[in-house]
Structure 1
Amino acid sequence: MSTPAATPAAPFPALPVCGVAIPATGLITAAVAYARAHTSPSTVNHCLRSAAFALVFARKLPPYAGADAEAVVLACLLHDLGWAVGESRALLSADKRFEVDGANLARAFAREHSEYSEAQLQEVWDAIALHTTPSIALHKQPVVALTALGILADFTGPYHPAGAISVAEFQEVVGAFPRLAFRDELPRTLCGLCRDKPGTTFDNFVGEFGAALLEGEEGDAYREQREKNSARNLLLGGLDAVKQYE
């Protein structure tokens, strides 16, 4: 792999308690700038925390010791491009899940700013597209698994199912990259997806936010649509519909 040259000064806080450092390569520095240009400050900090936690898992869990740290950090930094804000929303599709939008944008970015092979680009794409599906991601390549592990750790900290994140490490990472308004912004973002492109939310966790938090007629209409398009109804309804041809 051809690694971009490091920048003269690392733009990231030191993390001595965690024993890791976010690589300050040209690609990573550019990725942070790209994320800042298109997503909110709290989303950027969430992505930076996720990257730091992913590196902690890579250091502590033997199966991931040889993972490409730059690729892991790149995937974490760009994993929420599907939450683009303001004029940057023009980058997003009208019919794809936010994870797929993010994966597509990240792959295009990496293709332009690095010499990654197509196989490496595909790993970054997989890592982002699958980051909300750990039951699949954890059985793929280390880059994909570590991305999912690191992102989940930002929500669970020391209570992560895989362990490995200590209270001191968690506090250091959150201190370096503060939460800002992430707790309040998250439900607004996900409910916005339920409003703007509901068809991308019916079969995944985003729909849980819409079903629980959208109110009034809007909420009733969303819940009715979600139920109609549930996997149960689609599968059993399909079997009932084709039975006449059997």
Structure 2
Amino acid sequence: MLDKLETIAGIRIPDSQMARDATALVRDTETDLLYHHSRRVFLFGALTGERRGLKYDPELLYIGAMFHDMGLIDSHASETERFEVDGANAAKNFLHSYDISERDIDDVWDSIALHTTPGIPQHKRPVVALVTAGVEMDVLGIAYDDFTDEQRQEVCACHPRGLKFKHGILSAFCYGTIRKPHTTAGNVKADVLEAMDPTFKRWNFVDTILNSKWES
């Protein structure tokens, strides 16, 4: 029933064949927690774009939001890449089945690959910036007060956070990275494993420099 709603908090959900196919794929592949989170990321990202007066492609934003955590799922996870890159690659492969330009595919790829790398996405094109803005709002509460009570309530009424979303999303992050801890080097998922995996040893940039094979 929720997927049939055309507008949530004033944001129209894309209803093209591509968007419907993406929704069906994510719904069938991801957990309920990640599916509802991804839809909220789109809505909060789109609301941010409206508030900032940005011109963005809603369909591309939707694909970026819906695929941004796909790399946490076993069927789309590689053995060596960051989960963000796995999700970006899944979106890229999906988009190649549709009439989408390479530049637009690159924007979606960047929006997913960079969404856990603070300080960069906001300087990129709108789709990239807004996927991260949606993630930061839903996971970290960044810019929480820039949204109205009505906007937050309507988004969460249609796509509930539940009582344990904070712990649930941390568990999903942990599950998606614990088997390849090297992929957390230089990104925020190192914080997750440090908190949740007692065997985890954080990669250290300074040690890597000082212990390299260079003599000086």
- The question of a shared fold, defined as TM-score above 0.5 by the shorter chain, is answered with yes
The one-character-per-residue Cα deviations of 1:173-208 (angstroms, maximum 9, x if unpaired) are: 011101145323222222223431111123221121
Is this contact kept in 2: 1:49–1:154, CA < 8 A? yes
Task: Give yes or no for the alignment of 1:146 onto 2:130.
Answer: yes
1:28 matched to 2:13: no
Match of 1:234 in 2: 208
**Does structure 1 retain, via aligned residues, the 8 Å contact 2:111–2:132?**
yes
Higher relative contact order (CA 8 A, sep 6+): 2
In 1, distance between residues paired with 2:140 and 2:147?
9
Partner of 1:68: 57
**What one-letter code is carried by the residue in structure 2 that aligns with 1:166?**
T
Q: Percent identity?
A: 30
Cα deviation for residue 232 of structure 1 reads 2.0
Q: Distance in 2 between matches of 1:205 and 1:182?
A: 18
Q: Which of 186, 195, 214 is the matching residue for 1:212?
A: 195
1:7 alignment counterpart: none
SS at match of 2:80: coil
Letter in structure 2 aligned against 1:133: T
Q: Aligned pairs, how many?
A: 213
Structure number with bigger Rg? 1
**Residues 12 and 233 (structure 1), Cα distance of their counterparts in 2 relative to 1, 3 Å cut:** farther
CA contact (8 A) 1:193 1:201 kept: no
CA contact under 8 A between 2:88 and 2:109: conserved in structure 1? yes
1:131 counterpart SS class = coil
Counterpart of 1:115 in 2: which secondary structure? Answer: coil
Say if 2:72 and 2:175, in contact at 8 Å, map to a contact too: no
- Per the alignment, residue 3 of structure 1 pairs with none
RMSD: 1.9
Deviation string, structure 1 residues 4-45 (Cα, Å, up to 9, x no partner): xxxxxx723632xx3221111111111111111221011000
Matched to 1:222, the amino acid is F
Are the aligned partners of 1:11 and 1:29 in contact in 2 as well (CA < 8 Å)? no
How many angstroms apart in 2 are the aligned matches of 1:191 and 1:164?
29
Q: Which runs of 5+ in 1 are unaligned?
A: 1-9
Contact 1:127 1:143 (8 Å CA) reproduced: yes
Instruction: Give 1:96 deviation, angstroms.
Output: 0.5
Offset at residue 126 of structure 1 (A): 0.4
Aligned to 1:4: none
Please, what TM-score do these two structures have when normalized by structure 1?
0.80
Q: Could you tell me how far 1:156 is from its partner in structure 2?
A: 4.3
Q: Does 1:108 align with 2:93?
A: yes
Partner secondary structure for residue 138 of structure 1:
helix
